[in-house]
Copies of this chain bind each other. A is one copy, B any other.
Amino acid sequence: MANAEKTSIRIGLLGCGNVGAALASLLVDPSAHETLVRRAGVELELVAIGVNDPNKVRSQESWFPIHLLTDNVDAIVDRDDIDLVVELMGGLEPAGTLIAKALASGKAVVSANKALLAQRGKDLEELAQAQRRDLAYEAAVAGAIPVIRTLRESLAGEAIYRVMGIVNGTTNFILSKMTAEGLAYDEVIAEAQRLGYAERDPSADVEGYDAAAKAAILAGLAFDTSIDLEAVHCEGITKLRSVDLAYAAKMGYCVKLLAIAERIGDGISVRVHPAMVPLHHPLASVDGAMNAVFIEGAASGPIMLYGQGAGGLPTASAVLGDVIDVARNLVASTYQQPPRRHASLAMKATTDLVSEFYLSIEVLDEPGVLAKVADVFGTHGVSIRSMEQTGLGDEARLVFVTHLALEHAVAATIADLKNLREVEAVGGIIRVVGNDQEAQ
């Protein structure tokens, strides 16, 4: 066991944005050095930082290791004297090729790259397994929140039946603000962009793509399978209206963008969509840019993990936890075997799912309208749990919450409602979750 006498783990870092710069600072911070060595059981030595532009300023800290910056990223994964590569570049390429090369040359890898792991995680894990090296990625989902380790280790003995996460801080910030201040999406997104909470092109966040990649990673671990990211149903928040958020609040709900992975019979459902969550549900109190993941297991009961899902330091903290774990394993000449993913489980079509639904309908304020509308629900077997009518001058707004109903029956109901002369518009349509917390 060649590694048995190791007194130092040499680390090459790929990428030095917010997270990379924070990690580099934590690794070389002189005041934290003794603690790191004690906890890792070995010296952690940062020896190279690969970036596009080595001349860019990364940190104001006096101890930031400027001399380690290099634009030769390929050389880092090729170096024989590096034990561990930390990939914080993001994006599919060149990150994917660099990680594969690092593993192939016997290096352990820590990554926070959700897009890459959602799309090529299984292949990279197989490569890591063949090389008997660690591939750790706690920071790929929900920043500082220890959800990957919880699914892989703490809940290893658990029959998990559902994972629901608020895993995108940008959209949670926007929804919290729309709810608290009664503002429209367009107003809040503009402010979020001004404050730096949203990108100039916010589509990865607001259309739910970022959450979908995280849903795929969580589902894969919860259900020991491999998820086709293309098959993840994905709805964003851009069509949500503040009037619907206000109705939700009045009825005792808040609206959250949820990443959901759920066991359904022999198959699974993996999806991202806005959802009405009862205010007494633990996810309802997760406000602003905070993230949380709610896990339901047959024996464990509900577990919620809450914290900062993004940001340089919180994400770097999770990366550093992985680095220490991997360093301990390298010293012990061992590694954590990747999950044994069995064949893909059947992905249930969203149209075959059962949910409660909130629907808001604008109708002409005439006698008999409610009867006609209710008749359409009945025709499709959609049972109404509650209804509220609000006058709007010549029109009225009907707000319904259904009992559990099949998605395709609700879709057919909506299509028929739109054909009624008396229906001006079918507005907000939002699934309701969390009322059946104990079900399954």
Q: Mask for A146-177, Cβ within 8 A of B = 1, else 0? A: 10011001111111000000000000000000
A149 to B158 CA separation, bound complex (whole angstroms): 16
A338 to B318 CA separation, bound complex (whole angstroms): 20
A321 to B333 CA separation, bound complex (whole angstroms): 23
A36 to B224 CA separation, bound complex (whole angstroms): 11
A317: Cβ under 8 A from any B Cβ: yes
Chain B residue contacts of A316, Cβ below 8 A = 299
A141 to B323 CA separation, bound complex (whole angstroms): 26
A299 and B282 form a contact (CB under 8 A): no
Chain B residue contacts of A378, Cβ below 8 A = none
In A229-280, the 8 Å CB interface with B consists of: none
B300 and A282 form a contact (CB under 8 A): no
Looking at the complex, which one of B40, B145, B301, B313 makes contact with A299 (CB distance below 8 Å)?
B313
Looking at the complex, which one of B35, B308, B329, B334 makes contact with A300 (CB distance below 8 Å)?
B308
Looking at the complex, which one of B36, B39, B303, B321 makes contact with A144 (CB distance below 8 Å)?
B303
A204 to B307 CA separation, bound complex (whole angstroms): 31
Q: Mask for A334-355, Cβ within 8 A of B = 1, else 0? A: 1011011010000000000000
Q: State the Cβ distance, A182 to closest chain B Cβ, in Å.
A: 20
Chain B residue contacts of A138, Cβ below 8 A = 154
B324 and A157 form a contact (CB under 8 A): yes
Looking at the complex, which one of B22, B156, B321, B339 makes contact with A153 (CB distance below 8 Å)?
B321
A153 and B157 form a contact (CB under 8 A): no
B299 and A158 form a contact (CB under 8 A): no
A18 to B134 CA separation, bound complex (whole angstroms): 37
Q: Which residue in chain B gives the minimum CB-CB distance to A334?
A: B334
A302: Cβ under 8 A from any B Cβ: yes
In A11-30, the 8 Å CB interface with B consists of: 22, 26
Q: How many positions in chain A have a CB within 8 Å of any CB in the partner chain?
A: 58
A92: Cβ under 8 A from any B Cβ: no
Chain B residue contacts of A285, Cβ below 8 A = 282, 285
A69 to B351 CA separation, bound complex (whole angstroms): 50
Chain B residue contacts of A156, Cβ below 8 A = 39-40, 320-321, 324-325
A340 and B299 form a contact (CB under 8 A): no
A336 to B325 CA separation, bound complex (whole angstroms): 10
Q: State the Cβ distance, A223 to closest chain B Cβ, in Å.
A: 10
Q: A26-B299, A307-B301 are in contact. Are A320 and B149 (CB under 8 A)?
A: no
Looking at the complex, which one of B311, B317, B328 makes contact with A158 (CB distance below 8 Å)?
B317
A56: Cβ under 8 A from any B Cβ: no
Q: A324-B156, A332-B334 are in contact. Are A308 and B317 (CB under 8 A)?
A: no
User: Residue among A32, A138, A282, A308 with the most chain B CB within 10 A?
Assistant: A282
Q: Add 19 more A-B contacts to A144-B301, A149-B154, A157-B323 (CB < 8 A).
A: A22-B299, A26-B299, A32-B159, A38-B340, A39-B157, A39-B339, A41-B340, A144-B303, A146-B146, A146-B153, A149-B149, A154-B318, A154-B321, A156-B321, A282-B306, A298-B313, A300-B314, A304-B304, A305-B305
User: Which 8 pairs show the lowest CB-CB distances between chains A and B?
Assistant: A157-B320, A146-B154, A303-B307, A299-B317, A300-B317, A144-B300, A304-B306, A156-B324
Please give the residue numbers on chain A whose beta carbons come within 8 Å of chain B beta carbons, in ascending order: 22, 26, 32, 35-36, 38-41, 138, 144-146, 149-150, 153-159, 224, 282, 285, 297-308, 311, 313-314, 316-318, 320-321, 323-325, 328-329, 332-334, 336-337, 339-340, 342
What are 30 A-to-B residue pairs whose CB atoms are below 8 Å? A22-B299, A38-B342, A39-B340, A41-B340, A138-B154, A144-B303, A145-B303, A146-B146, A146-B153, A146-B303, A150-B150, A153-B324, A155-B321, A156-B325, A157-B320, A157-B321, A157-B324, A158-B317, A282-B285, A282-B306, A299-B316, A299-B320, A300-B308, A300-B314, A302-B306, A302-B307, A304-B304, A305-B306, A328-B337, A334-B334
